[in-house]
Amino acid sequence: MNTNCSHCNYKATNHETLAGATKPNEGDVSFCINCGEVNKFKDGILLPVNMEFLDEKTKTELNDIRIAWLKMRAMRSAK
Ligand SMILES: [Zn+2]
């Protein structure tokens, strides 16, 4: 399954969701590894998500993912 990030148009072929599933389910929240933005899977496409409307648990999980992602990018760019 191919999905495009609604923020940067990055094409993800193997989607990683918070639930750890390889295929996104309706309403799943996904993190774009290219731009670091958050999308929601709906009707077969990714739509932008306003973080303010997510529950606290999801926000905390996404923040943890974003921190790890930023560290990874920082290490890569330092090489
Ligand atoms: Zn993106």
Q: What is the pLDDT of residues 16-64, one digit of tens each?
A: 555 555 667 888 888 888 999 999 989 888 999 988 889 999 999 999 9
- DSSP states along 10-43: -EESS--BTT--SSPPTT-EEE-TTT--EEEEET
What is the per-residue pLDDT for 62? 92
72 CA → ligand 1 middle, Å: 16
What is the per-residue pLDDT for 6? 94
What is the per-residue pLDDT for 28? 86
Sequence spans of domains, the chain? 3-78
What is the per-residue pLDDT for 9? 94
d(CA 13, CA 22): 10
The environment of the single-atom ion ligand 1, i.e. residues with CB closer than 5 A, is 5, 7-8, 10, 32, 34-35
Quote the pTM value.
0.76
* Residue that the structure tokens 């992602």 belong to: 69
